[in-house]
Structure formats: structure tokens, C-alpha cells
Amino acid sequence: MKKYIYYGFGGFIGFVCGVGIILIFYAVEKSGHRILSDLVNDHGFIGRYIVFLVNNLHFIGIGLGILMVNVMFKKELEETHDLFKDFITKNRPSLDVAKVATGEHWYGTQALDLGLIDEIQTSDDYIIQAQTGEQFRHLSGLVVIGR
């Protein structure tokens, strides 16, 4: 869901930038410098095509904004995946990282069988263990029951 909000924001920024550039061309034309008009007169079809692109920059900006967000989102996702693999490699050296770092997710018994977790318990059991003085070690903000 968050990704689509980013797409919308990227499209909006692209639209605003496109409108800004169109307004600059409009102001230059109104000041007496006939850039776009001369393009059409001097270069025929190519000039008309360039003027068409300039007049539609707000739509082009939307597409480019969404594309830019898509590229950035993929980069962040790859970085997060690499950090996950490094964390698993450091804290569970016996685990086959290539087997679990595929982008899939596992539920309770599957995660236990793969060695991703030490035990399955309810949150109530976890709180009771914490109150009875069980040893905990903290790893990067995660609380893991010590062995």
C-alpha cells in the first residue's frame, strides 16, 4: 500500500514540474521571444512534435515521476533484503541463507523447521518468561531469548 502512495506522490511531483516548465515557456513566448512558434515555422514536423511534447510535459512528468519512484523503491527493497541476509548470517551461522532469503515468508512450524526461530510460543508465554527473569539479549532492537 505504501508503494502506491509513493507512486502518487512521484506522479504529482512530475505533474507540478511539467506545469512549471510549460509556464516558463509560456512566459518566454509572452515576453516576445518566440521559441515554440519559431520551432514550428523553421523545422516543420519535428518542430510541431517538439511543441506537442512541451505542451504535454505535465503528462510526461507524471510518467517519469512514477518511473523514478519505482526505481527508488526497488533499490530500497534490494538494500533491505541484503541487510536481512547479513543479519541472518551473523546471528544464525548454521542456517542456509540461500534457502531462506528468497523473498518468501513462512508461518510458525515452517519457520521452526527452517531454523528461523528457536521456539513457538504465545505472547502471553513470552511475557510470563520475561517476568520470571529469563535471560534476554537484544539484537538491533529485536528481543531474542538467550540460549
What's the mean pLDDT in 2-21?
82
Please classify residue 16 by burial: count the beta carbons closer than 10 Å to its beta carbon, then call 0-12 exposed, 13-18 middle and 19+ buried. middle
Report the run of H or E that residue 138 belongs to, with start and end: strand 136-139
Q: What is the dihedral of CA 92, 97, 102, 105, to 10 degrees?
A: -20
pLDDT digits (tens, 9 = 90+) for 52-65: 888 888 888 888 88
- The confidence score (pLDDT) of residue 135 equals 54
DSSP-derived letter for residue 116 is S
**Predicted structure pTM score:** 0.46
- The confidence score (pLDDT) of residue 142 equals 52
What's the mean pLDDT in 2-30?
83
- The confidence score (pLDDT) of residue 99 equals 80
pLDDT digits (tens, 9 = 90+) for 66-99: 888 888 888 888 888 888 888 888 888 888 888 8
**Lowest-confidence segment of 30-34, 124-128, 138-142 by average pLDDT:** 138-142
Residue ranges covered by each domain of the chain: 2-105, 117-147
pLDDT digits (tens, 9 = 90+) for 110-121: 888 888 788 888
Q: Where are the beta strands (DSSP E) in 35-131?
A: none
Question: Rounded mean pLDDT of the chain?
Answer: 80
